[in-house]
Amino acid sequence: MVKKTVLLLLPACGFSDAGFRFMKQAVTEKGFSLAIASSSTSLITGQNGTKVQPEIPLYQVHASNFAALLITGGEGWLKTDIGSGYSKIVNAFYSSKKLIGAVCSGPVVLAKSGILTGLAAVCNPLYKQELIKAGANFTDKEYVISGRTITGRDSAALPSFAMNYLNLLKTN
């Protein structure tokens, strides 16, 4: 069932292995499928060597085919051109009022896509200036829920971020 599928966006390299593994397990344990999209159609590698094969090229993503969007962190996001299709996807999910979750450096993708302007949000404190520069109200908490968007601080916040993301997803 398509509506039980969460779209996970990953950068072409340098995603957070721990964030990816944790969220993949959390989402699938709650009965949802996870589809992975990236700007690369080749095998991509996390910061610590985890290999992942993206299933969907960015240009084939349609928000209507998914229950929600998820963006885990990793240094790769800081080297990624968000305008290379990622921003279009984030805005399509936002316009469709779908649940959007991002953790660690993932909220930077949301900020650069323009959807955090005027909203409370959190990310890894190393990247908080990126959120502030984009007009978000940085709030230093484990996670922050602003409407249909939930952001998480870092890998230590993954358990509380995941629990709240999945609770919101179940009420979708």
Q: Is the dihedral of CA 114, 147, 7, 166 positive or negative?
A: positive
Q: What are phi and psi of 167, to 5 degrees?
A: -65, -45
CA separation for the pair 99, 97 (Å, rounded): 7
Domains of the chain: residue spans and CATH = 2-170 (3.40.50.880)
Sequence-separated (6 or more) residues with CB below 8 Å from residue 145: 164, 168
* pLDDT tens-place string over residues 153-162: 999 999 999 9
**Can you name the residues that pair with 151 across neighbouring β-strands?**
102, 144
CA separation for the pair 78, 80 (Å, rounded): 6
Structure-token match 């959807």, residue found: 115
CA separation for the pair 116, 1 (Å, rounded): 30
Q: Band the pLDDT of 82: cuts 50, 70, 90.
A: confident
* pLDDT tens-place string over residues 1-59: 357 999 999 999 999 999 999 999 999 999 999 999 999 999 999 999 999 999 999 99
CA separation for the pair 36, 135 (Å, rounded): 28
57: its two tokens: 């090229």
